Amino acid sequence: MRPWSALRAVVVFIYVFMLGPIVITAAVSFNQSNRSQFPPRGFSLQWWQRAFSAEWLDPLVFSLKLALLAALVSTLLALPLAFALARHRFPGRAALAALTLGPLMLPALVTGVGLLQLFQYAGAREYIGFSALLVGHVVICLPFAVRTIAISLHTLPLNVEVAAASLGASRAAALWHVVLPLIKTGIVAGAVFAFVHSFTDVNLSLFLVRPGEQPITVKILGFLEYGFAPTLAAVSVITLLVPLALVAIVERMSGLGDFIYAARERG
């Protein structure tokens, strides 16, 4: 085989396994009967109708709220953290870096169990649910936001800040007029990564839910115990489309693709 046809085969292979499950899931959701057959038999929208009932919409909206808030909070926390870690040498810097980026290495499952115990021992059981989930999600999303912002701080052109200072900009003015606009894509990318990570998390969330306050992923996992119904296929497709749509919108608005794919010099 020539090198090019080998490469082509690998690409086809990757696409089949990436897109195949999505295509099959989408197709299954249009089955006429209650059985998850592929290719689907007949055509009906009844499973989609059921997917849009409160039973599924409530956890979906819950997930959206949780992910948006987790992305917002972790980005706001990540900004000063990234500045401190990328710019300054201070005692305890290594410890702070390890603490901030640690959850990236730790299985979210472990973080979840730990947080659950913490809330129990601290006598804060009543916060389990949305509040505990938010804390947990911020913890696991923070590394993504800190890393992307720190990377964009490192790629900041040399001297632009001192140039701003020489032109009469105070540190605050230089930050607002020069640094923030230049790391904007990094901040947005960090927020998007955080949103997606929060929205798709199930490992951590499992431990911190309470009835009526559970994200869509946990709800799907719970439903799976009764078998895979076409309703679930429809719900999965919706769950897939929401973050995808958000990323697409943000990408259009901010040139995020350049950051994610490091495609070309920014500026």
Binding site for another protein (CB under 8 A): 157-160, 162-170, 173, 177-178, 181-182, 265-267
**Number of helices followed by number of strands (H, E) in the chain:** 12, 0
Q: Which is closer to another protein, CB of 151 or CB of 240?
A: 151
Q: Write down the least CB distance from residue 161 to another protein, Å.
A: 9
Using an 8 Å Cβ cutoff, are 29 and 47 in contact? yes
Structure tokens at 124: 């804060």
How far from chain centre, in Å, is Cα 141?
7
**Cross-strand bridge partners of residue 213:** 210
Q: Write down the least CB distance from residue 19 to another protein, Å.
A: 36
Q: Write down the least CB distance from residue 189 to another protein, Å.
A: 16
Q: Write down the least CB distance from residue 253 to another protein, Å.
A: 15
Q: Write down the least CB distance from residue 154 to another protein, Å.
A: 15
> Using N-to-C axis directions, what is the helix angle for 3-28 and 230-254, rounded to 10°?
120
Structure tokens at 104: 């990236």
C-alpha 197/C-alpha 206 separation (Å) is 15
C-alpha 125/C-alpha 144 separation (Å) is 28
Q: Which is closer to another protein, CB of 70 or CB of 256?
A: 256
C-alpha 91/C-alpha 80 separation (Å) is 16
Q: Which is closer to another protein, CB of 5 or CB of 166?
A: 166
Q: Which is closer to another protein, CB of 182 or CB of 194?
A: 182
Q: Which is closer to another protein, CB of 46 or CB of 254?
A: 254
